[in-house]
Amino acid sequence: MKTKNEIIKTLVTKRCGVIKPDSIEEFIGAGGYQAVVKAFSMQPEQIIGEVKASNLKGRGGAGFPTGIKMDAVLKAEGSPKYIICNADEGEPGNFKDKYLMENDPHQLLEGMIICAYAVGASHGYIYIRGEYGDSMTALEKAIADAKANGWLGANIKGSGFSFDVMVHSGAGSYVCGEEFALIESLEGKPGRPRNKPPYPTTAGFRDKPTMISNVETFSNIGIIVNGGGEAFKAIGTETSAGTRLISLSGNVKNPGVYEVPFGVTLADIVYGLGEGAPDGQKIKMVQLGGASGPIIPPELLDIRLDYKDLADEGISIGSGAVIVIDERFGMMEILERIMKFFCRESCGKCTPCREGNRQILNILNKFIACKASEEDIKNLTSICNVMCLTSFCGLGQAAPTAVLTTLKYFGGEYTGRLAAKS
């Protein structure tokens, strides 16, 4: 097993805990905003070229190439153009964006400024969940200090480029983590997804070209501009470049936020960083990505943190959560809690998500009561698959993931609760 120092690689967290997050002077003293100055000496296409060369993929869960998204907004017709940071982080089990905002808020602003310059945007918004009061305070002070020091506002540092950022508080809606639901909420409407296409890159906020990414993604932009895309790509694996922030929680001795390079194994994270389960307990399962992520057995922890390796197994790391569950906790009860969450948080727009979550919960309750039949296993699988294929947005499509993966990896937990065996 690798040591903690061998596993951790700091890029976006290199200043966290080193500088005072509310001091713009310390941020600048540690190299902050140098990437903005360098970006202003480059053409927008050059900046986007470096981001493309870096192979940076969105850190919000979908893993879409950031450079392609930037290029689409640059080439899109219409103005003004907008930059939106998705800081909602509503997926249970994730708290790494909160960590970045409260420990290095100017790094986020730096990335947003560079992206705005590259795509031709003049306005930016940080959409943040209402529960993140400390994060909002940190960002609002950072924005005020950046304006006072000429890094935001009109004619930034004499560049001729103007860009401003506002913080917008959400109201705790899970579905507003979906990009169009977030945009609808930002426009003052109920937070529900829109039809795609068109995509936000061509018709986003106020039907104008919009680049929307999450906190961790924007926080990598300055690093790429400073060091170059190829240097960034050299970290990690052939298919997954750079580092990833992991929100490690659950039954581990050392929970917390960790930055690791792609290529480390899940076992390195759970056992090397988390030091395994406390009190001599045995790990029963691990959920990746959050409530909408897969639940896997400990035998799969030797998989590398790599988009392709995970996809080959049919799973994903999602937003970066790793939730460890030991043998003291029952799988069915955990699934019940997850599905109650999705029943409550579904926006209700589409039938597969609205009704599917309820039906899954009803069937799970039959298993909990040991009153289920073989037919219930078939129905459960069918409903989950229909939701994945037909739900209106990605959140509805991902809601059954925990159930589907437990059916795959923990089938005995279901057959052991059938009525004939109760």
Under the banding of pLDDT at 50, 70 and 90, the label for residue 422 is very low
134 falls in which pLDDT band (50, 70, 90)? very high
Looking at the fold, whether 225 and 285 belong to one and the same domain comes out as: no
Give a three-class secondary structure readout of the chain: CCCHHHHCCCCCCCCCCCCCCCCHHHHHHCCCCHHHHHHHCCCHHHHHHHHHHHCCECCCCCCCEHHHHHHHHHHCCCCCCEEEEEECCCCCCCCHHHHHHHHCHHHHHHHHHHHHHHHCCCEEEEEECCCCHHHHHHHHHHHHHHHHCCCCECCHHHCCCCEEEEEEECCCCHHHHCHHHHHHHHCCCCCCCCCCCCCHHHHCHHHCCEEEEEHHHHHHHHHHHHHCHHHHHCCECCCCECEEEEEEEECCCCCEEEEEEECEEHHHHHHHHCCCCHHHCCEEEEEECCCCCCEECHHHCCCECCHHHHHHCCCCCCCCEEEEEECCCCHHHHHHHHHHHHHHHCCCCCHHHHHHHHHHHHHHHHHHCCCECHHHHHHHHHHHHHHHHHCCCHHHHHCCHHHHHHHHHCHHHHHCCEHHHC
Residue 10: exposure state from Cβ atoms within 10 A (0-12, 13-18, ≥19) = middle
Q: Tell me which residue range forms the domain holding 88.
A: 4-233
Mean pLDDT for 34-39 is 98
pLDDT in tens, 194-248: 999 999 999 999 999 999 999 999 999 999 999 999 999 999 999 999 999 999 9
Q: Are 302 and 259 in the same domain?
A: yes
Assigned domain for 90 exists:
yes
- 213 and 99, same structural domain? yes
Residues 49 and 14 in one domain: yes
How many domains is the chain built from? 3
CATH code, domain with 273: 3.10.20.600
pLDDT at 419: 85
pTM of the shown model: 0.95
The predicted model gives 379-383 an average pLDDT of 97
Residues 44 and 187 in one domain: yes
**Average pLDDT, whole number, for the chain?**
96
Confirm whether 318 is domain-assigned: yes
Residue 238 lies in a domain: no
Does residue 171 share a domain with residue 55? yes
Looking at the DSSP bridge assignments, the partners of residue 257 are: 247
321 and 338 both lie in a single domain: no
229 and 125 in a common domain: yes
Whether residues 278 and 398 fall in one domain: no
The answer to whether position 253 is within a domain reads yes
pLDDT at site 268: 97
Structural domain contains residue 389: yes
Q: Mark which of 269, 294, 326 sits at the end of a domain.
A: 326
Last residue of a domain, one of 233, 262, 279: 233
For residue 61, the domain's CATH number is 3.40.50.11540
CA 354 to mean position of chain CA atoms: 23
> Last residue of some domain: 264, 294, 326?
326
> Same domain, yes or no, for 382 and 336?
yes
Q: Are residues 308 and 347 in the same domain?
A: no
